[in-house]
């Protein structure tokens, strides 16, 4: 009886406790958001009081949802008040939902992480020789000291010789930027007449991490190396006798070697997983760069494609372009998968990556005298012509390791008793390429042959391995595996690295370079252009590991990296030179000049190849490979202005307050706008019905002397194209002429709905103004 009574009371109390817990108000999970408001009324010339007034309006708006102005000030960690109107704040889900309903809130989106577009070792014009962009004669035409190139990245190593201000004049008086250091400058970070500005933005990053983490946020110093590499590629000064562990000795420089440069640090460690470059910090950096007065912004980062309204890169770059700044960005490293291209905004120059005709070569010779050409930047070397036992990593696996993990040489999977004194074959994939070498070295191997899996095919990269190593193609790797399987005592040697020039064919599209079609808008060709992005030598951070492995304590002033992060600043540097020669050209005119003068043939005279050694398409290389000397004198350009871009957004369904995210004044969409007539330098028509006719209009602007241009048409036989008029007469610079292209798709013999490609070429005998045509049949 007593036991039953206590049991009844216990169950009653338990039920009451459960009910209490179920109905107790819970604090929502806090996340950081970017809140974008309608246009502020002050314009771009804000005083300090104006800025504070806008910031106070942000506090007032948020205070009604978080309970007080004090709480609002604690919640808001960025107030965007100069070129944008909005704020970044830490909110719970309920608060964010309520803020989103405020009549002045146009857009609210999560402060997500973006990523750098370098392949690193996971899945500059190099002026000792480049062959694709050789030493530019543009340097003889302009000093370029009037141009300022900004770089959004991991910061900068200011002591690098690439940022020496030797021989440079005073900083341009129009520069409004600063060299941002902590009050005691414990980092001893200094700017000069070359590196004229440095800022760092970390609050968006910190809002998503443990605030007690062991990271110093009070410096724009580059501890990763990526930012120094990209900034020096765009605008680094001349440095003689630069090498990477003794390889590739020569003079390096950026595309605009006499330009002023400024670093905007938005990326923080760890960078390998998900990226450490947050939307809120990126938007803050864009606002600062615009205010500081840069001419070019190089942005080697990106991520998952989202609608422009929800992207700080889209919003920031639009405002930059509206202020006359050219924005260049990388297409990403998710190739060769179709639809993987990122940074798809039509107002951005989006850059793919390809090889050059210089390679860092290391040969693998087998016991049967078979020789394979690989790539490497290993500092150490084996005894010349000495052969060592060659084994697969699977044959050196530890007892408790799986064969699949051992094959790719993961940490702890190799048995030193089996690996010692041998050359180990490791398969590419899963872990870092350089980590495989570290694991092989820890197990006592004397060398490593890194071989591609089928997916990575023919793409081989020169990495600074910690032991003698060479990177071979999938085909060559298959031969090696067969060799060790059928040979009683397989042997091999690895040669020391040598720098080879005049490599053919070049350029070849990098396998990692992200591909089109454009997943957000298939009527806009992306990427726009390709440039060198494989084994690029440029400045590096002298506290970073060259191989990105903690156990690697080596230091190097210069390093070779690969990725669209490396190709992007090549184009940024060229843009700087063009802008110096043609300061009155719009961002779109410069983009058109680069695209319409690009080439689609390699140094053997054949069409550009993919890494598979099959013909590449515009979805890999855009308009082709950049040719700087031709881009400064294109003859004609396809120009666009802010109104054109606003009409483009109207066509995407933007209206009213959504347009105010991009434009600081009320904008009324036109009653009619045909996207086919958007004056882009390429013509792309998805879902073209067979036996239907489509008219496309374009306008060309003369940027050269008076001349007469005639059109040439090259299209596959399935497509009929006519152009009217066929001749364009230009009597003066700045004159515009319109032409109409009529396209008709005939019956397809192979019944395929794959894209077909053609090209228009307007020429006066000296200039060639080329525009790609891409059509996808709708069956």
Instruction: Give the catalytic positions in this structure.
Output: 153, 226, 565
Under 8 Å CB-to-CB from 19, ≥6 apart: which residues?
Answer: none
Taking Cα atoms as reference points, which of 768, 762, 675, 764 lies closest to residue 725?
A: 762
Token pair recorded at residue 223: 């501890």
Nearest Cα residue to 498 out of 673, 747, 326, 246:
246
Of 237, 232, 199, give the one whose Cα is nearest residue 217.
Answer: 199
CA distance 588 to 502: 34
Cα 237 from Cα 194, distance rounded (Å): 8
The half-sphere exposure of 416 on its side-chain side, counting CA atoms within 13 A, is 6
- What tokens were used for 484? 């060790």
Could you give the CA distance from residue 178 to residue 749 in angstroms, rounded to a whole number? 63
Q: 424: which 2 tokens?
A: 């180990």
Distance CA 157, CA 179 (A): 13
Q: Which helix (H) or strand (E) holds 249?
A: strand 247-252
Helix (H) or strand (E) holding 437: helix 433-442
Q: Taking CA 591 as the corner, what is the angle to CA 590 and CA 593, rounded to the nearest 5 degrees?
A: 65
Q: What is the largest CA-CA distance in the chain?
A: 111
Q: Pick from 454, 390, 460, 401: which is nearest to 425 by CA?
A: 390
Report residue 698 as tokens: 């374009």
Q: Is residue 144 within 8 Å of residue 515, measured between CB atoms?
A: no
Cβ–Cβ < 8 Å for 392, 414: no
User: What is the rounded distance in angstroms from the CA atom of residue 522 to the CA atom of residue 519?
Assistant: 6
Q: How many CB atoms lie within 10 A of CB 307?
A: 14
Q: State the CB neighbour count (10 A cutoff) for residue 707.
A: 17
Cα gap 245→550, rounded to integer Å: 18
Please name which of 114, 161, 116 lies closest in space to residue 562, comparing C-alpha atoms: 116
b/e map 444-472, b = 16+ CB within 10 Å: bbbbbbbbbeeebbbbbbbbbbbbbbbbb
Matching residue, tokens 């049949």:
777
Helix, strand, or coil (residue 496) = coil
Under a CB-based contact definition with an 8 Å cutoff, are residues 115 and 563 in contact? no
Among positive and negative, which fits the CA dihedral 480, 484, 486, 489?
Answer: positive
Q: How many CA atoms lie within 13 A of 198 on its CB side?
A: 25
Distance CA 215, CA 209 (A): 11
The Cα 16–Cα 13 span in angstroms is 5
Number of Cβ within 10 Å of residue 7's Cβ equals 10
* Short-list 310, 288, 218, 233, CA closest to 574: 233
């Amino acid at each position: 009886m007593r036991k039953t009574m206590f049991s009844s009371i216990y169950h009653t109390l338990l039920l009451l406790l459960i009910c209490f817990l179920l109905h107790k108000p819970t604090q929502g999970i806090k996340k950081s958001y970017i809140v974008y408001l309608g246009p502020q009324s002050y314009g771009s010339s804000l005083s300090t009081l104006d800025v504070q007034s806008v910031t106070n309006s942000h506090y007032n708006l948020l205070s009604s949802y978080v309970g007080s102005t004090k709480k609002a000030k604690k919640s808001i960690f960025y107030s965007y008040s100069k070129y944008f109107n909005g704020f970044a704040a830490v909110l719970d889900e309920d608060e964010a939902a309520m803020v989103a309903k405020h009549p002045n809130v146009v857009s609210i989106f999560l402060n997500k992480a973006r990523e750098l577009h370098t392949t690193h070792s996971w899945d500059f014009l190099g002026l000792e020789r480049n062959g694709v962009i050789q030493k530019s004669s543009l340097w003889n035409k302009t000093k370029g000291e009037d141009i300022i190139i900004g770089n959004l990245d991991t910061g900068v190593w200011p002591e690098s010789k690439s940022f020496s201000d030797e021989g440079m004049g005073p900083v341009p008086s129009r520069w409004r930027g600063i060299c941002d250091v902590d009050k005691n400058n414990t980092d001893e970070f200094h700017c000069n007449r070359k590196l004229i500005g440095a800022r760092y933005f970390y609050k968006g990053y910190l809002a998503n991490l443990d605030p007690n983490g062991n990271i110093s946020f009070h410096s724009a110093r580059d501890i990763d190396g990526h930012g120094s590499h990209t900034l020096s590629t765009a605008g680094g000064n001349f440095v003689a006798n630069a090498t990477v562990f003794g390889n590739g000795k020569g003079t390096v420089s950026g595309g605009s070697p006499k330009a002023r440069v400024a670093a905007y640090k938005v990326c923080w460690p760890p960078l390998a997983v998900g990226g450490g470059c947050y939307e809120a910090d990126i938007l803050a950096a864009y606002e600062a760069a615009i205010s500081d007065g840069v001419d070019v912004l190089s942005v080697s980062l990106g991520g998952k494609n989202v609608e422009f309204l929800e992207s700080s890169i889209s919003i920031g770059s639009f405002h930059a372009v509206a202020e006359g700044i050219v924005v260049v960005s990388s297409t990403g490293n998710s190739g060769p998968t179709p639809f993987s291209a990122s940074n798809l905004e039509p107002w951005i120059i989006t850059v793919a990556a390809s090889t050059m005709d210089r390679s860092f070569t290391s040969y693998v010779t087998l016991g049967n005298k078979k020789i394979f050409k690989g790539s490497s930047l290993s500092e150490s070397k084996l005894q010349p012509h000495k052969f060592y036992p060659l084994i697969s990593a699977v044959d050196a696996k530890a007892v408790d390791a799986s064969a699949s993990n051992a094959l790719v040489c993961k940490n702890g999977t190799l048995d030193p008793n089996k690996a010692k004194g041998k050359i180990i074959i490791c398969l590419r994939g899963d872990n870092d390429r350089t980590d495989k070498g570290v694991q092989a070295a820890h197990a006592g191997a004397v060398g490593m042959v890194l071989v591609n899996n089928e997916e990575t095919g023919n793409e081989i990269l020169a990495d600074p391995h910690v032991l003698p190593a060479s990177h071979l193609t999938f085909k060559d790797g298959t031969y090696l595996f067969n060799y060790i399987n059928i040979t009683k005592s397989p042997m091999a040697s690895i040669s020391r690295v040598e720098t080879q020039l005049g490599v053919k064919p070049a350029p070849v599209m990098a396998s990692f370079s992200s591909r089109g079609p454009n997943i957000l808008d298939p009527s806009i060709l992306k990427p726009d252009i390709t440039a060198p992005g494989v084994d690029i030598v440029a400045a590096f951070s002298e506290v970073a590991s060259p191989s990105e492995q903690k156990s690697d304590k080596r230091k190097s002033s210069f390093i070779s990296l690969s990725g669209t992060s490396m190709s992007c600043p090549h184009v940024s540097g060229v843009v700087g030179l063009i802008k110096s020669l043609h300061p009155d050209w719009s961002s779109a005119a410069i983009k058109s000049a680069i695209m319409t003068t690009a080439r689609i043939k390699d140094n053997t005279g054949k069409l550009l190849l993919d890494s598979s050694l099959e013909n590449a398409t515009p979805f890999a290389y855009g308009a082709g490979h950049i040719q700087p000397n031709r881009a400064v004198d294109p003859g004609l350009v396809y120009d666009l202005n802010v109104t054109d871009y606003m009409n483009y957004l109207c066509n995407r369904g933007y209206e009213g307050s959504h347009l105010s995210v991009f434009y600081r004044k009320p904008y009324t969409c036109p009653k009619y706008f045909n996207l086919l007539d958007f004056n882009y330098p390429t013509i792309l028509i998805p879902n073209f019905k067979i036996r239907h006719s489509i008219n496309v209009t374009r306008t060309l602007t003369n940027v050269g002397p008076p001349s007469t241009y005639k059109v040439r048409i090259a299209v596959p036989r399935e497509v009929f194209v006519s152009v009217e008029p066929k001749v364009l007469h230009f009597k003066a610079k700045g004159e515009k002429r319109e032409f109409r292209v009529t396209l008709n798709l005939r019956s397809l013999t192979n019944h395929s709905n794959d894209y077909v490609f053609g090209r228009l070429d307007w020429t006066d005998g000296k200039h060639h103004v080329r525009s790609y045509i891409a059509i996808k049949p709708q069956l």
